[in-house]
Amino acid sequence: MHDDIDRILIPEDEIRAGIDRVAAEITLAYTNRDFTVVAVLKGSCVFASDLIRRIPVPLELAFLAASSYGSGTTSEELRISFLPMDSEIQGRNLLLVDDILDTGRTLYKLKQELLRRGAAEVRTCVLLDKPARRSVEFEADYRGFVVADLFVVGYGLDFAGRYRNLPYVGALKAAAYHRASEAL
């Protein structure tokens, strides 16, 4: 798996430092304010589990599953497989946590949907931000790192379902990308 990586973009120690910084911002913002971290599966599972352990104030945890239709590299139609229960949404301050903000469509639509279902407030937090790819006007309230328009994998991010378990964020080799694309 490591052989498929062209270069490491964000090594483990930098990820840790970035999460410490974001966690401190979130802690400051939510001290004495009830809130629920809503992790967007699958990509955010690694980031969200590290992030919440660095936020030393009370919080609740919920999940939703959303993915772009198809398993290619472009974001297309969004499919929401499941959402938190109504009681976990209505009147609550939600912090949506995702691994990457790319075109912005996922978080834009999820935020709209959660507000439509009665959330009191919805903020967003992403590990990675790829502003070059944005197709809707949307910015995250909290973000770890800005990345260039490369195909990034690892630390929760996949290509064709793989590489989520790499401990760093890396750029995939073109050969690995083509090999996996042909197998799709």
H or E element, residue 53: none
Give the x/- contact pattern for ligand PRP in 27-66, rule: CB under 6 A.
-------------x-xx-----------------------
Task: Please give the full DSSP string across 117-166, using - where no structure is assigned.
Answer: TT-SEEEEEEEEE-GGG--SS---SEEEEE--SS-EEBTTB-BTTB-TT-
Our CB check for ligand PRP shows the closer of 109 and 173 to be: 109
Q: How far is the CB of 91 from ligand PRP (least distance, A)?
A: 25
Catalytic annotation present for 129: no
Least distance (Å) between residue 34 CB and ligand PRP: 25
Sequence-distant (6+) residues with CB within 8 A of 59 are: 30, 35, 36, 37, 52
Q: Whole-number minimum distance, CB 103 to ligand PRP, in Å?
A: 3
Q: How far apart are the C-alpha atoms of 96 and 119, rounded to whole Å? A: 12
Q: Are 55 and 26 in contact (CB under 8 A)?
A: yes
Given 50, 102, 129, 158, the catalytic residue: 102
If one asks whether residue 124 binds ligand PRP (CB under 6 A), the answer comes out as: no
Q: Of residues 39, 99, 129, 169, which one binds ligand PRP by CB under 6 A?
A: 99
- Token pair recorded at residue 28: 């400051």
Residue 38 forms beta bridges with which residues?
62, 96
Q: Per rule CB under 6 A, is residue 100 in the interface with ligand PRP?
A: yes
Q: Which residues bind ligand PRP (CB under 6 A)?
A: 40, 42-43, 67-68, 75, 98-106, 158
